[in-house]
Amino acid sequence: MRVAESRDAGVLTLTLDYPARRNALAMPLREALHDILDSAQGDAEIRAIVMTGAGGTFCSGGDISGMNVTDAETGRERMRRTHRIIRLMVAGRIPIVAAVEGWCVGAGLSLACACDTIVAADDARFMAGFGKVGLIADLGLPFTLPARIGSGRARQMFLYGTQLDAAAAERIGLVDEVVPKGGALAAATEKARFLAAQASLPIALTKRILAEGLDRALEDERHFQTLCFLSDDHAEGKAAFLEKREPGFGRR
């Protein structure tokens, strides 16, 4: 489990690499990602970032097996630590381009939507899916997804767990460019090189303006998700996921 790094001409490429869980965002992976992003903010040579996943999958979501929240303080601390990543991505100075191949689900969708540009291969699949495990959308997605596709479409994705292919995602503005399978990283890198060659201050200030309201949204999310972590529905959703069955919400 790691976040692989490579640099070229002002572009830092980060690759989520957790093959056992299809690049699920386990807490150690989140910590590693935070540390890299935080360090990059102070590195003047890094002018753009590409974020992708190894093995033909962007990110399969949160690591359900590691969601062991037993009290409110633990839940709030878990969210605080993860929100550091989202603040760096959405409001930080460095533009970020997501290169999405394969599944981009749950927390993976949140990560992609925290990027400034999303390039997707034509085999990419997008879904929120948090409700299946008794949770609300998190990692800033209630803020970033409506900003991309509008509140009405975002509501449908949140409530129904709608799955979108790359073409449908591009039609509604979730994806900015679709390329053939296997080509997302090259296309995203080209965009990142363009951004790296631009004046950095206007980009940084534009990101800050567009991030207005993020802190309030994350604080609400931190509180509400903690309530969900401690709910019977989450316990059932988590058990159903691990047992590979449909959840039975409301069956007491």
Domains of the chain and any CATH numbers:
2-181 (3.90.226.10)
Confirm whether pTM is higher than 0.85: yes
pLDDT surpassing 60 at residue 145: yes
Of 17, 151, 133, 95, residue with least CA distance to 141: 151
pLDDT value at position 63?
A: 86
Distance in angstroms between the alpha carbons of the first and the last residue of the chain = 38
| Per-residue model confidence as pLDDT tens digits over 8-41 | 989 999 999 999 999 999 999 999 999 999 999 9
Mean per-residue pLDDT over the chain, rounded:
95
C-beta separation of 189 from 50 below 8 A:
yes
Q: How confident is the model at residue 66 (pLDDT cuts 50, 70, 90)?
A: confident
Q: What is the pLDDT of residue 251?
A: 62
Q: What are the DSSP calls for 203-233, one per residue? A: HHHHHHHHTTTHHHHHHHHHHHHHHHHTSHH
Q: What is the pLDDT averaged over residues 45-58?
A: 97
Confidence grade of residue 135 (pLDDT, cut at 50, 70, 90) = very high
Q: Is 4 helix (H, G, I), strand (E, B) or coil?
A: strand
Q: What value does the mean pLDDT take over residues 142-156?
A: 97
Q: How confident is the model at residue 67, as a pLDDT?
A: 83
What is the distance between the alpha carbons of residues 224 and 202, in angstroms, rounded to a whole number? 34
Identify whether the C-beta of residue 43 lies closer than 8 Å to the C-beta of residue 49.
no
> Which pLDDT tens digit goes with each residue over 154-205?
999 999 998 999 999 999 999 999 999 999 999 999 999 999 999 999 999 9
pLDDT cut 90: percent of the chain above it: 92
- Residue range 208-234: average pLDDT? 96
Cα 81 to Cα 30, 33, 36, 51: the distances in Å are: 8, 11, 14, 19
